[in-house]
Amino acid sequence: MERLSEGFQGVGGMRRAEARATLQRYFAAYQSVHLTVYDVQAEGRERVRCRVDFAGHPRDVGGLAGLLPSSAIYRFDLELATEAARLVVVRASWEPWTPPDS
């Protein structure tokens, strides 16, 4: 969370505190999580686009394993800025991504 700007804005107007709470709930539902970042495209230091593969093992509590996905792919678009001598995410948008048919 220290890499999110205090003024962070995400999808649907999500603010920093809401992003923290959302991530905490999401990751608490999984026994293990693995993220792979690829296809990174940078436009200077101000913008980064990438895809992220998510693979996880949902906890087997209260039926979570049957409700939560074990894998997903998202495309992220990040706007960056330097604050207090470190690079932080100011804005982020993301959407599910499906690979095109071969």
Question: Over pLDDT 90: what percentage of the chain?
Answer: 73
Domain boundaries, the chain: 4-96
**Number of Cβ within a 10 Å radius of residue 8:** 20
Class of domain 4-96: alpha beta
Please name the amino acid found at residue 69.
P
* Closest to 8 measured CA to CA, from 19, 68, 28: 19
Q: pLDDT at residue 100 above 90?
A: no
Question: What pLDDT is attached to residue 27?
Answer: 85
Phi, psi for residue 63 in degrees, rounded to 5: 80, 10
pLDDT digits 0-9 by tens, 49-89: 999 999 999 888 877 777 788 999 999 999 999 999 999 99
